[in-house]
Structure 1
Amino acid sequence: MHTASNTKSIQYWLLTGAFLILAMVVIGGITRLTGSGLSIVEWNVISGTLPPLSEEAWQKAFWQYQQFPEFQKVNYSMSLAGFKQIFWWEYLHRLLGRVIGIVFLIPFGVFLLQKRLKDWLLKRLLFILFLGMLQGAMGWFMVKSGLVDNPHVSHYRLAAHFCLALALIGTILWTVADLRLKHDQRQHFATSLTRFSYWLLGAVLVQIVLGAFVAGLKAGFYYNTFPLMNHEFFPSVLGEILTWGNFMENGSLMQFVHRWVAMLVLLLFLRFWFMSRSAAISLRTKHTIQVLLLVVLVQVGLGIATLVMQVPVSLGVLHQVVAVVLYSSTLLTVHQLRYTYAPNNQAV
């Protein structure tokens, strides 16, 4: 039987992985906002581990980049020095992905040999491994979408790439939370607050996907005023260009929806907090929900600041990181409500 005391090393290992994936999200955000994501046009898992080490190697990498639309249509005046600047962010992003793979696989093999991974835990870790492999493949699939006629990655693939990162972090945190309990002695409490928390988590995920669409379409640069969009609540331009064919590819619409779904999510969190005040839950869980409300308030403020300041790299990345924190905190709150006891050890 797994208990919190004899799985501490596994918990620390998993939390290290979650932290590294968050670092991956940070570097990925910088890579996207600095226009560095298409600088490496090949996916070489082994040979790509090392960067160009000679002037000849740099010239070759630059020549390869010049064969693709981003250089030909956007960065046609770029020098080798400029190429090196965008290359390093994408290289660091890919290198960290390899590091995460090593950090997962080596301890996984050790724990497996020690026969410490049994039953549900082994299945969960194999699922995490599968998600990690899928995430790497999706990263390259996303990059490939920008190596064709349009030198921009697909916002659908960008959203899928980000959601897989969230799935990895979420599965890891849920597993750690499970390990902190006696897995075979957990009780599931189905309360109105618990059910509401599921809807809350779903709303956060929808808003994150909308944010990824805004980022992929570069729609954050379209309207940089708040609460109105260039003196209009609903941009009149949408009445002229919006069709069923471009509904999900219209940057103006995506920014509009992302803005106001954020307000809806904020209202849902306020309702959740209000419900928790009178709920028969532990003081610890009530404090967790208070922190959750604070995080969503910070995230809304960051979103507005990022918009009106025309998406500076620092704020854009911070907004993305707090989105991960909000998702993770909401997920762990769901776990607390789903499995932990009420103060009198009774379901409410």
Structure 2
Amino acid sequence: MQLNNNVTEFILLGLTQDPFWKKIVFVMFLLLYLGTLLGNLLIIIIVKTSQALKNPMYFFLFYLSLSDTCLSTSIAPRMIADALLKKTTVSFSECMIQVFSSHFFGCLEIFILILMAVDRYVAICKPLHYMTIMSHRVCGVLVAAAWVGSCVHSLAQIFLALSLPFCGPNVIDHYFCDLQPLLKLACSDTYVVNLLLVSNSGAICTVSFVMLLFSYGVILHSLRNHSAEGRKKALSTCVSHIIVVILFFGPCIFIYTRPATTFPMDKMIAVFYTLGTPLLNPLIYTLRNTEVKSAMRKLWSKKLITDDKR
């Protein structure tokens, strides 16, 4: 389908065209990206090396941090580099790859958040059968299904993008390639494509968000039968998960559940879920989780001991 297009590359306008603000954007988002990498890679290392974090919740947390790292990496490095250039262009193929990767890892994060909610439901509402239901094999199958589902979703996005004819102009008023800004450049009626986009990305975001809020509502309601200590621990974990869900799904629902119209605030809202949430997730899970903080201290102590022996 690409051969029928007159456009071979796109121009990304980024967040701003002002030289001074482009330097600010470069510094700010470089720091955000480095913080995202540091925080998520730290969680990945801790979960993999700590024997105390081998239960299913941390198994899913590992993949949440992995998806956060990959989601921000699919967008941030290009955006940071573009902030130093006067004219930023991206080839048609690179644009399609970015559409695929951003939707793949974004959808994977949604599915992982759902799995984390399922895990918390079983742990709190079915504690006696927790390790039987959420066995290592079951968790592995669930994560594999999440990867397959994300791939199917992303392939659907690519199919929609490749079905659009681009005759010019080729200027994308955004800092990365996504279907919403691409729809504005198509030289044909995009009503059906936009309808499919809303029914795909929009439905996944909205339905998943409602399911997650309902599931955590059930979990919180069931806590009334637990002891004060157990209620406090479960409540702390669930509140962390709910914060992550709201921070991630709020911007996604705003972007993907409306007609093919763009607003000036769209780019900043997209920044929040592509860079902001991946940065905040490690902070939320480490600052509110005593087991993760304990594992971090043990890892740091082990490193100090190893350095002293040298």
- Report if TM-score (shorter chain) is over 0.5: no
| Structure having the higher Rg | 1
TM-score normalised by length of structure 2: 0.40
Say which structure, 1 or 2, has more relative contact order (CA 8 Å, 6+ apart).
2
